[in-house]
Structure 1
Amino acid sequence: MRFSGREVRDLLVAWLALGLAFSLLYVPVSPTTMGETLTSSLFLGEFALSLATVGVAFLLHELAHKVVAVRYGQHAEFRADFGMLALAVAGGFAGFLFAAPGAVHHRGYITPREHGLIAVAGPLTNVALAAVSLGLMVTVAPDVGWRGLFINVLLAGFNMIPFGPLDGRTVLDWSPAAYAAAAVPTVGPALLLFFGL
């Protein structure tokens, strides 16, 4: 598995920007106390927690796409979307957040099945991370576990919505049966978490 210098830079910037954006969401910052807040132990603790949970969830989701794409002979690299990252940080300051840090772009010939498997790899990685987070939540690290569980369930479910450029659309186009099977561990927990269905 190879990573170009640009890809490493983009991964690092996306990871740090997501950590900052979510920290700002959880620890509000006002213009008059910005310097004091950003250097406080509360904010720095929140930043570390966001990097370890939200940042890892997003980036491992994208890297799962890359691993499977490379497995099928694709040239694949992560590219950060700096405009969307800036919007995420600005949204954190404003008290709302939409995060789309970038994507793995791949090229080369693949079958519809391979394309579907590349797409579903990201959400299924979030399912695995959610399971690990649940274990942490009920054992040694409740705060880390809960944040990891929440963000991974959210990412898995959201990305499997069969719409537009989301992973779910690609999986459904490949195979409705595969989509239905993947929706059980991805969309199902998200519905339970948010709506108690």
Structure 2
Amino acid sequence: MNTRTLGALARQTLTGLRAFLVLTVILGIAYPVAVWAVGRAAFPDNATGQLVEVAGTPVGSAIIGQQFNEPNLFHSRPSAGSYDPLASGPSNLGPSNPDLLKQIDRRRTEVAESEGIAPADVPADALTASGSGLDPYISPEYAELQVPRVARLNGLTVGRVELLLEATTDGRILGYLGEPKVNVLELNLAVQNAADHG
């Protein structure tokens, strides 16, 4: 290899190294910091997980689902990771997987029995976990079928619980994006407050 070739190779290597360093600083440091800063400025509540407090004590997060087993409360959507934020994610079981089908059948039976409805009337979000496994929302349909049980066990009228459900139901974004949804934690807190104060 002659001197001219070695010089060209050295220049190309140096140019590539400079490009690598510049792009690393821009795309590996500056861009992520800028996106983080914009996100913090635009959505300041998300930095703390949108903690919900009652009398100064954190009781959950408005954006991270949690399990409610108590019979007098609305139940959340199933979680593939047992509501553990560190295990967030789907089950990765395909729609024909026998294990998933058994889970769905078991959940359908449990929900139908606890709510006193036909198994065919159990909505999909009562049977399957979300992609994150931490969905804080359920559909209005799933919430609606739980109203009689929650009302009876809390000594409230069905009409009162339906009003609480309506107040905690979020509509479509901008009126047409997504589906209406109910934040389970907010609804359960409203139910508990109503039960405590008559």
TM-score where L is the length of structure 1: 0.26
Per residue, is there more helix in 1 or in 2?
1
TM-score where L is the length of structure 2: 0.26
